[in-house]
């Protein structure tokens, strides 16, 4: 038996992602169909980053083969971390243990179960990846690294109007520069019980995108 686990945040109104959602057609208005209009930026909600997000000559999502988004994923469980706790290379190595690294690495903190993702504290108090932690992740040469928390310390500064040029986004700089795609703001990792799962991530097919919303699914083998 297989268990399919959605690891994707819902797209709903949110203070950090000022999405506009409205009905352009509806049965209530006498139209023949329901049609909804909405606006999105490529780095809102659960999304995947391409290197071109941070580097002018970096690859876009189109430059990566589709098969990069399917395959075995190793869960690096550091869900013991607390608010504002740095996640170091040593902690990530311990989480990997003797397991063989796969093409997809997912760092699990279950942060949205400790601090709701619609709150300011989700960003302001998040654990974060240290520079040596980001370098270690990149050294394993995966095709994708995913996170279920605001993984760079300086992300919290953005809501206070600090320009991104004055923030050092550690994983963005250390991982994307190695042509490794990165998934941000995954969710529901508490439901993943296995250390190795099958993974499917399908981003919006926006041409030559620097990033896109992505639907992430973990597939576990179960005995039920």
Question: Residue 224: which pLDDT band, with cuts at 50, 70 and 90?
Answer: low
d(CA 154, CA 157): 5
Count of CB atoms situated within 10 Å of the CB of 83 = 12
Within its chain, how far is the Cα of 42 from the centroid?
12
> What is the tally of structural domains in the chain?
1
Which whole number is the average pLDDT over 131-142? 98
Helix (H, G, I), strand (E, B) or coil at 138: helix
Mean pLDDT, the chain, integer: 96
| Residue-number span of the structural domain to which 195 is assigned | 2-10+42-221
pLDDT of amino acid 27: 96
- The β-bridge partners of 212 are 48
Give the CATH number, domain containing residue 208. Answer: 3.50.30.50
| 137 is a domain residue | yes
Q: What is the pTM of this model?
A: 0.96
pLDDT for residue 223 is more than 80: no
């Amino acid at each position: 038996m297989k268990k399919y686990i959605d690891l994707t945040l819902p797209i709903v109104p949110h203070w950090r992602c000022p999405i506009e959602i409205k009905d352009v057609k509806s049965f209530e208005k006498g139209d023949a169909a329901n049609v909804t209009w909405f606006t999105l930026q490529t780095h809102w909600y659960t999304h995947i980053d391409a290197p071109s997000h941070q580097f002018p000559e970096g690859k876009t999502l189109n430059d990566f083969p589709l098969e990069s988004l399917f395959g075995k994923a190793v869960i690096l469980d550091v869900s013991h971390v607390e608010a504002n706790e740095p996640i170091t290379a040593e902690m990530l190595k311990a989480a990997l243990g003797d397991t063989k690294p796969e093409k997809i690495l997912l760092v699990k903190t279950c942060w949205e179960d400790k601090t709701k993702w619609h709150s300011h504290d989700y960003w302001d108090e998040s654990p974060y990846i240290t520079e040596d932690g980001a370098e270690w992740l990149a050294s394993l040469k995966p095709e994708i690294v995913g996170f279920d928390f605001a993984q760079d310390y300086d992300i919290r500064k953005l809501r206070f109007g600090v320009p991104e040029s004055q923030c050092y986004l550690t994983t963005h700089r250390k991982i994307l520069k190695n042509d490794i795609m990165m998934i941000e703001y995954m969710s529901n990792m508490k439901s993943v019980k296995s250390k190795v799962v099958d993974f499917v991530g399908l981003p919006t097919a926006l041409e030559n995108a620097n990033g896109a919303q992505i639907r992430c699914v973990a597939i576990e083998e179960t005995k039920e």
